[in-house]
Structure 1
Amino acid sequence: MKLTIARSTFRKAGAVLAVAAGLFGPVAALAQTQGGTLTAIVQPEPPTLMLGLNQQAPTQYVAGKIYQSLLTYDAALQPLPSLAKSWKTSSDGLTYTFELQRGVKWHDGKPFTAADVVFSVDKFLRETHPRGRLVINKYIESVTAINEHTVEFKLKEAFSPFMSLFVVDNMPMVPKHIYDGTDYRTNPANQTPIGTGPFKFKEWKKGSHIVLTRNTDYWKKGQPYLDEIVFRVIPDAASRAVAFEKGDVQLLRGGDVDNVDVKRLRALPNVEMTTKGWEMYAPLAFMSMNQRKPPFDNVKVRQAVMHAINRKFIVDNIFFGMGKVATSPIASTTLYHDKNVPQYAYDLKKARALIQESGVNVGATPVKLLSFPYGSAWERLAEYTKQSLEQIGFKVQIDPADAGGWAKRSGEFDFDLTFNFTYQYGDPALGVARHFLSTNAIKGSPFVNNQGYKNLKVDELFATAAAARTPELRQKLYSEVQTILMSEVANGVLFEIEYATFYPKNVKNLVKTGIGLNETFDDVYFDKK
């Protein structure tokens, strides 16, 4: 079969080679300063660091320095080399061939080879990953090791966003020699994760800190530059802000501090702030209403809830302007967004009329609102939602939960109402469809169709759009999907999230790609001039 360079590899092959040379050449290492400990915050504390089993935001943040995938992505969402140094695709778009980096080792010293890629994708992730398995099981026919450093993917049918699939939390590479033949979820290695990344797991003192230490045998010679990364667990938002101001912490990630503090922290001397690094994720917040039982099994009740929530008030006063009202489950910054779909203006009169039309006594049984444990703004959102719904006849009880408890209850569909946010991953087939496909209402993860939405027409449209080869056809199909999802309030979309990252000016190379702080940090360093 004749192979050609993938269209997305790409428009300027020379530029890609230049980038690769800059990333992997020894000259780059000489220009940086070695040493130092970067102290950050992980909030809330993750339930695990095994990225193949858990993809909550705190896990991604920490484990992105331990695990790697075949590719990473720039701010325009074009693929860049990671564990794969080059790639090709066949002219029919059904065969992808990846050439792997040489000299890569797992943290226990064992070599990383094509066999690890085959195991990771074709066995481990095909079974465990709530997002990845959707694509793997539907589209990937086979994964084959051609030799130790070459892997071939064969697709069952065309899948337009295939090259966007290899974000590290979508496709983390997992060591075959540790996991093959074991119960993945109970393997002891989950407590001491082993990857190929620039930092190795050193210590986790629950409730206090996680420490990652420099991988001295990292495959990029001379890197990483930092000696350690310490992620501190500080439950209180005000205390996190103070720790940054005092210099005890050098990095604040979106959600680490209350949005009310953003303006003040931005004005501090020698502090940089950026909202870049979220291009791949385009996070979008939503309300998940459990449609398996009353009252949210009634579409008019769900529509009433949307009219009862003042989403502009939420953005302006609860999240202090860090975001904008969402008009669709597909974020406005993402491919195939369509704003010309049904909308829900804040209108209590309309909300009450819809409740009456529904014939449902929404106050008959208290609604359990499972709190979202990602900071004080989300706590205020829960209180605001409780007050808003009680104005139209609901009785609402807020159930508090930590990150692990929220994930468990969401994954087991043990809630009436909760909040979540979705990462878009550059294409609706990767980040959006998973929340609405009837085939993906599978217990065990908070990032599937947890609300129990079911519409076979939507299933068909998502499948057809994913395989469509032209942007025009994909747009037509996704516009139809968005119209149905908004009409039926398949999920209660709230707002597109904007995150601020704060760090001292002497911390360099912190946000360079479209996955931002979930990157490896292998070239982050302190400028000691």
Structure 2
Amino acid sequence: MGKRMFSALVGVALLAMSSSASLAQAADQRLSMAINPEPATLILGLNLQAPTQTIGGKIYEGLIVFDKALDPQPSLAESWEISADGKTYTFNLQENVKWHDGAPFSSADVAFSLGTMLPQTHPIARTTLAVIDTIETPDDDTVVITLKNPFNAFLTALAMNTAPMMPKHIYEGTDYAANPANETPIGTGPFKLKEWKKGEYILLERNSDYWQADRPHLDEILFRVIPDEAARSIALENGDVQVTSFSDIEYVDVERFRSNDNFEVTYEGYEFFSPLMWIEINHRVGPLGDKRYRQALMYALDRNFIADAIWFGSAKPATGPISSTMKYYSADVPEYPYDPAKAEQLLDEMGLTPDASGVRHRVKLLGLPYGTTFVRTGEYIKQALSKVGIEVTLESVDRGTWAQRVAAWDYELTLDFVYQLGHPAIGIHRTYSSSNIRNVLFSNTMGYSNPEVDTLFDEATVETDQARLQETYTKAQQVLVDDVPLAWLIEIKFPTIHAKTVEGLVTTAHGVNGSFADVQIAE
């Protein structure tokens, strides 16, 4: 790196850190973490974007949290019982829980959150909570929820990010999006908002009335807004931040931190999200609706190369619609080894023969604007498909335009990755179900429809026997992988990089989006 470039990067980093002079002297137990992009809001019941989840997960809580094996554990619900027919859930709430403004948390807040507010404001809860028939609150510490029919993912639907508890006394009867309280979020979590200097930092402070008397250990958490990738890397090396996560650090640089004795790199803590990356295919566009074309794409792409040479080991080849880190995953599906000759054979069968310039078909790939690694992935796809006679035109747009075009079905191919959210019924059905073909991002925007898949998903949703449930999901995976509604590429393994002095950082499947109640800085 030239001296001018290095100086410029240092300048960016120093600019991002300049806000520290305006902050009070650091508390004894202060954690500093990079955040990018800056969240639009911290109200988790109104916004599910990644930075809102990361910061909001310290302010808000759900009834349930999930361990790294994706098994439910107590949070605001101390315990629960499920009826034999799988339709009635009785939750016993933690005692002496208070909202950040001192008001008591009770079953009334649960009923309001699950029955009134979240079905109107939360993009996931709007669907998952529709299964609720009645919510009863026999006392302040008990909630009885009866479902219209069994829903084996219901506990998963009650996690912090899928159903955060919202304060009834703040939001009842208000315009949720315009409520003045949105500037000062009120949750039950171990931290509360102290200061937000737009464009620079968000500072959380310890909730001294937290219901776990010996938690949290930290006095403050400082989230520094650092938009530049190189500046985030410099800030981590210099100790200006102690934690980075998700795609904060370029994947080519991850090994450098792994070899540094001052840091730890972990891929744990993303099990609930299990991000899966694919090429989404608009089935409405010419030959893209023919499964032979989609199968040809799978054979033409070397997914091992993508994982190893582009993502530098922070990924593994995907085998189908369910990530290997998820429950109900099955490897018993059709395989698509790297085989360009097989891809050409399928294209020949379709009548897509090469023209005088060797081109069989021309297609546009809308790039995913999430950094240089995604750009390189798109460039590789263009190169690989050209070898089988598919000429790819790469389209580069900003994030807002990408989202608008995909939601409007205005694309041919596009790169995307989606979180699977702890259970196929929540994070996977939405992509392939015919009933979810909508002009909404992260729905079935590709227009795929297969009645057999719809039936299997419907059966899986209400199945209570685990063995039969696995059989149903295995069959669904087999049908989908044969159909190739989209071209699965890799399971992304996001790295969390942190100073070794930071302890207790990743304790659940929610990772850095968790509460940080157990985090402390070693002396």
Instruction: Place the TM-score, normalised by the shorter chain, in its bin.
Output: 0.7 to 0.9
Aligned partner (choices 493, 498, 513) of residue 498 of structure 1: 493
Q: CA deviation at 1:515?
A: 1.7
Residue number in structure 2 paired with 1:82: 75
Is the 2:217–2:519 contact (alpha carbons within 8 Å) kept by the matching residues of 1? yes
Q: CA deviation at 1:325?
A: 0.7
Taking the aligned partners of 1:357 and 1:167, their CA distance within structure 2 comes to 48
Structure 1 letter corresponding to 2:30: T
Residues 346, 217 of structure 1: CA spacing in aligned structure 2 closer, same or farther, 3 A cutoff?
same
Structure 2 letter corresponding to 1:273: V
Other structure's SS at 2:444 match: coil
How many aligned residue pairs are there?
A: 491
Structure 2 letter corresponding to 1:489: V
Other structure's SS at 2:209 match: coil
User: What whole-Å deviation, never above 9, does each CA across 1:300-347 have from its counterpart, x for those lacking one?
Assistant: 332232223221110010111122111111122322222222222223
Pairing 1:163–2:155 present: yes
User: What whole-Å deviation, never above 9, does each CA across 1:22-46 have from its counterpart, x for those lacking one?
Assistant: xxxxxxxxxxxx8432111123444
Residue number in structure 1 paired with 2:283: 291
Residue number in structure 1 paired with 2:102: 109
Q: CA deviation at 1:430?
A: 2.5
Aligned partner (choices 405, 414, 424) of residue 428 of structure 1: 424
User: What whole-Å deviation, never above 9, does each CA across 1:26-67 have from its counterpart, x for those lacking one?
Assistant: xxxxxxxx8432111123444443323332333221211121
Other structure's SS at 1:216 match: coil
Residue number in structure 2 paired with 1:464: 459
Taking the aligned partners of 2:373 and 2:397, their CA distance within structure 1 comes to 14
Q: CA deviation at 1:112?
A: 2.1
Structure 2 letter corresponding to 1:243: A
Other structure's SS at 2:390 match: coil
User: What whole-Å deviation, never above 9, does each CA across 1:117-176 have from its counterpart, x for those lacking one?
Assistant: 112112222234333333322x32222222222111112222223333322111111222
Residues 186, 438 of structure 1: CA spacing in aligned structure 2 closer, same or farther, 3 A cutoff?
farther
Is the 2:292–2:347 contact (alpha carbons within 8 Å) kept by the matching residues of 1? yes
Other structure's SS at 1:65 match: helix
Residue number in structure 2 paired with 1:239: 231
Residue number in structure 1 paired with 2:377: 381
Other structure's SS at 2:58 match: coil
Aligned partner (choices 68, 86, 89) of residue 61 of structure 2: 68
Unaligned ranges ≥5, structure 1: 1-33
- What is the TM-score normalised by the length of structure 1? 0.85
Residues 351, 183 of structure 1: CA spacing in aligned structure 2 closer, same or farther, 3 A cutoff?
farther
Q: CA deviation at 1:205?
A: 4.1
Unaligned ranges ≥5, structure 2: 1-26, 354-358
Is the 2:369–2:396 contact (alpha carbons within 8 Å) kept by the matching residues of 1? no
Residue number in structure 1 paired with 2:442: 447
Pairing 1:481–2:466 present: no
**Most deviating of 364-373 and 315-324:** 364-373
Residues 412, 230 of structure 1: CA spacing in aligned structure 2 closer, same or farther, 3 A cutoff?
farther
Taking the aligned partners of 1:51 and 1:447, their CA distance within structure 2 comes to 18
Pairing 1:345–2:337 present: yes
Q: CA deviation at 1:434?
A: 1.7
Aligned partner (choices 297, 308, 322) of residue 330 of structure 1: 322
Is the 2:115–2:135 contact (alpha carbons within 8 Å) kept by the matching residues of 1? yes
Structure 1 letter corresponding to 2:522: D
Residues 410, 150 of structure 1: CA spacing in aligned structure 2 closer, same or farther, 3 A cutoff?
farther
Pairing 1:513–2:508 present: yes
Give the alignment's Cα RMSD to 1 decimal.
2.6
Q: CA deviation at 1:203?
A: 4.0
Other structure's SS at 2:82 match: strand
Aligned partner (choices 258, 270, 288) of residue 266 of structure 1: 258
- What is the TM-score normalised by the length of structure 2? 0.86
Q: CA deviation at 1:507?
A: 1.3
User: What whole-Å deviation, never above 9, does each CA across 1:391-435 have from its counterpart, x for those lacking one?
Assistant: 433342322323x55445444444433333333334322221121
Residues 231, 411 of structure 1: CA spacing in aligned structure 2 closer, same or farther, 3 A cutoff?
farther
Taking the aligned partners of 1:203 and 1:413, their CA distance within structure 2 comes to 40
Structure 2 letter corresponding to 1:158: P
**Most deviating of 320-329 and 56-65:** 56-65
Residue number in structure 2 paired with 1:145: 137
Taking the aligned partners of 1:161 and 1:239, their CA distance within structure 2 comes to 41
Identical columns (%): 45
Residue number in structure 2 paired with 1:100: 93
